Structures are given as C-alpha cells and as structure tokens.
Amino acid sequence: MAHLITNCTFSASPAVKTFSGSPSYCCNVGKLQNSKSLNLSLKSSSKREKKSYVTCASAAVQGQTQTPLTGSQEASGHSSSKPKKVMVIGGDGYCGWATALHLSNKGYEVAIVDNLVRRLFDHQLGLDSLTPITSIQNRIRRWKSLTGKTIQLFIGDICDFDFLSEAFKSFEPDAAVHFGEQRSAPYSMIDRSRAVYTQHNNVIGTLNVLFAIKEYSEECHLVKLGTMGEYGTPNIDIEEGFITITHNGRTDTLPYPKQASSFYHLSKVHDSHNIAFTCKAWGIRATDLNQGVVYGVRTDETAMHEELSNRFDYDGVFGTALNRFCVQAAVGHPLTVYGKGGQTRGYLDIRDTVQCVELAIANPAKPGEFRVFNQFTEQFSVNDLAKLVTAAGAKLGLDVHTKSVPNPRVEAEEHYYNAKHTKLIELGLVPHLLSDSLLDSLLNFAVQYKDRVDNAQIMPSVSWKKMGAKPRTVSV
C-alpha cells in the first residue's frame, strides 16, 4: 500500500482531531491506492477496508468578499456574515478544481473531497497533462497565499461511507457539488475491470452521497454533474430532463428517454434515476447538470499563478474533442476526425462550467425537487470543430490538416441533434461563445506546452467493439 504523506498528525481512529502548523486547512486522510491495489479494488468492492484515517484543523475563511446564503438560512434569519458552505467532491479534477477556486473566490466556504485516483490513472496508462500540475496540497497552499482564503481538504474515497460520513459531519455542507466520478467513456471501455470500476465507483459513490445528505445534512442541495451523453442522439429535439407525451389519448410528463453509449454514460443514467428516486422518497433537493463537452483550461482563478494551473488532457482516453484538436494542430499532427465527423454535441467553455455551478448553488432546488439543466452553450459537429481549428491555425502560421480515422466508438456519425438549454440562461448565465480570439488563445496555449506532448498518446487506442477482458496498465 502506498502511503500518503501530509503535513498533519495521523490517528488510527476516525475521530476528528486538530493539528497545529501550516497550512491551515482540513486534511482528512483515507486510502490512496497504488496501481496494484487499484486493480484489486476493481475486481471486488467487498474487499474494501473500512478503516478511515481522519485528521482535521479548523480555520477561519479570510478575505471574504461575499456571503452567499442558502434559502433555509435566509428564511431562518441567519446572519448574512455566515458564508454558504460548499463541498466540491472531485475537486482535484478538471472541472472540480476550477469550480472550487471560483466558488472560493466568490466568497463561499469550500471543502474539496477527493481520493486523487485520477492522477493514478495517468500513471497506469502512461499519460500526462499537457500542463504541469502540482499536488493538491501545494495548490491549496498557493491559493491561500495569494488570496488569504482557506480551502479545506478531505482525502479519501466516497465509496467508503465511513470516510464520507466523517467529512459530512465535519464540514456540514449547505451544498455538495458532485464531480467525483470516473468521467471518461473510453476509460470505461478499455476492459472488463475498468467497466466494473466505473459503474461501481460512480453509482455507489453517488448513492453514498445521497445517504450522507439524508443522514447528516438534510437541507444540503446536491448539484450533480451529469452528461448530455445520457440522451444519446434521438431523431427528435432533446428537452431538459423531461418530455410531455400524449399516448392513446392520455398525457403525462416523463423523464426524457435515455440512450447511453458507453458503460460510463450508463453509470450516469443510473445516477439520475437514483437521485430522482431519493428526491421523491426522502425530500432531497437536487440539480442534475447534464453537461456537454468542455473545452479550455483557464479561468480567472487558475490563471493567477502557475501552481493553480488546471489539468489539460489531449490523449485519446481523457482528452475532449476541441482540446485534442488544438494540441494536434500545435504539434503538426493531423486532426483526428472519427469516421464521417458528423457527430454533433453541445460544447461549453470551462469558464461557463464554473458559472453554471455557481448559478445552481445560488438558486437551489426546493426540498423534494429533482431539476435537470442541460449545461452547454453551443452545438458543433466534429467536422465543424476541425474546420474552425484549421482556419484559426492558418492565421497563426500553423499548417493544419484533417485526417479521418476509423471510429473507435459505436455511434451514429450523421444524425439530427437539437438540444434545449434555456434554464441556465434564464438564471443569468452569460456564456463565453467560441470565437476566433478564443481559438487563438487555445492554440497559443497548446504551442506554449507542445514540448510536453507525447505523440504516441494522440491516436485513439480504445475500441468499443474490441474492448479487452484483462486490464492493460503501464508499470510504475
């Protein structure tokens, strides 16, 4: 078992203890698995060790400029000096890190919960972020030194309910933003063990979050990152979560039909069903953000210092389409269009991801309400993106070519696609639309770090039809 070294005192019991010294954030230490132990955990969840190691230090949040409140706080007359407490589960990841900083900067009291397994995936598969990213502890220390704001840190696995319970009881969140899932469709299709891991981690982790809210924080608003991939590509307009149907003379409003296209997307579908059920049964308040494909890397906060940089994936497993195309253009690799390239999806800037999450938190669902927002700003086909990157690259003197490669996925390559996305706009979303200047910025960013690109990781290596039965890993 690999040991995680932190600047705090360990205790073998799950009791919360305090420690002295810098940095002054809460560090709750559960298990961090190495390559061998992760592979074992993929085989059987029944072998999980239940013991958690938890240490904690309380610290006042400094430098607050706003004091957001929950609806229940406002109704009960709580002092406006008390900031709203938001737990960001998966706060070390691509969307989670940017969101945690954004919310902290806006005056929320933030805690990150993460088991750091995403970094382990990179080691196992021989991948690396285009941007150098420092440890989560260094990230939080740097944020504290620059802003005076404290982000608490709980390191552990949300599939371990004992650990998650201690985190909830210690932090007492008003809102829980749930990014803490294996988020890659290709990763879930590598082999049997990773398909099982994806479904177990995502579905059981979300169930644990729901039970933690029910048992320890009944008023907590769950903001869950879903995916537009739950809907598939139907030949009718995609509504926001629900559709009104008239059948045999009777009319009802029902959940929009789901047509998931990977074991990852299927896990998200089951999450949505579990969340909707617990809202009805237990009165939980929840917002399901069905997010499109995210691009970009910088927000106002991550741009403040190199140690706050977000990760930037360009490989065929974790990289998203536009980010991958920009890196390919920067290193002179043909843009890899899968099949006919007519696959159309919703896209949004990482800056809009954090804005959407903030809007959902500031306007919480009612008790027992299950809301679904389609979270994207524009729709593009893969061919559309390739043309945009080619034109933008030419302006920068890059010789950009496009290459059609066999589609590793099982999906329609030409289809109708029109998804509604009005609810977040109505709440005040001001989107950052894809423009020439933004593409120039993304391409320049990719050129800046092109020496870090591993060309061997650019082409797709995971096939939906040929997924393996045994795990393939890189020795660490």
Residues with active-site annotation: 227, 264, 268
Measured CA distances, 186 to 166, 178, 246, 355, 424 (Å): 33, 21, 37, 27, 29
Contact criterion met (CB below 8 Å) for 114 and 96: yes
Element (H, E) at 289: strand 285-291
Question: β-pairing, 221-227 with 293-295?
Answer: unpaired
C-alpha closest to that of 158 among 150, 168, 149:
168
Q: Please tell me what DSSP assigns to residue 191.
A: B
Q: Where are the beta strands (DSSP E) in 359-429?
A: 370-375, 378-381, 402-405
Q: Is the Cβ–Cβ distance between 118 and 138 less than 8 Å?
A: no
Q: Which residues of 355-365 are buried (b: 16+ CB within 10 A; e: fewer)?
A: bbbbbbbbbbb
Listing from the earlier edge strand, what are the strands of the sheet with 370-375?
A: 53-54, 27-29, 151-155, 109-114, 85-89, 175-178, 221-227, 285-291, 370-375
CA–CA dist 190, 461 (Å, integer): 9
φ, ψ at 390 (rounded to 5°): -60, -45
Helix (H) or strand (E) holding 85, with range, is: strand 85-89
What is the Cβ-side half-sphere exposure of residue 361, based on CA atoms within 13 angstroms?
32
**255, 240 Cβ separation under 8 angstroms:** no
Parallel/antiparallel/unpaired status of strands 175-178 and 221-227: parallel
Is residue 284 classed as helix, strand or coil in its secondary structure?
Answer: coil
Collect all residues with Cβ–Cβ distance below 8 Å to 79 and sequence separation of at least 6: none
Contact 434, 323 (CB under 8 A): no
Identify whether the C-beta of residue 97 lies closer than 8 Å to the C-beta of residue 139: yes
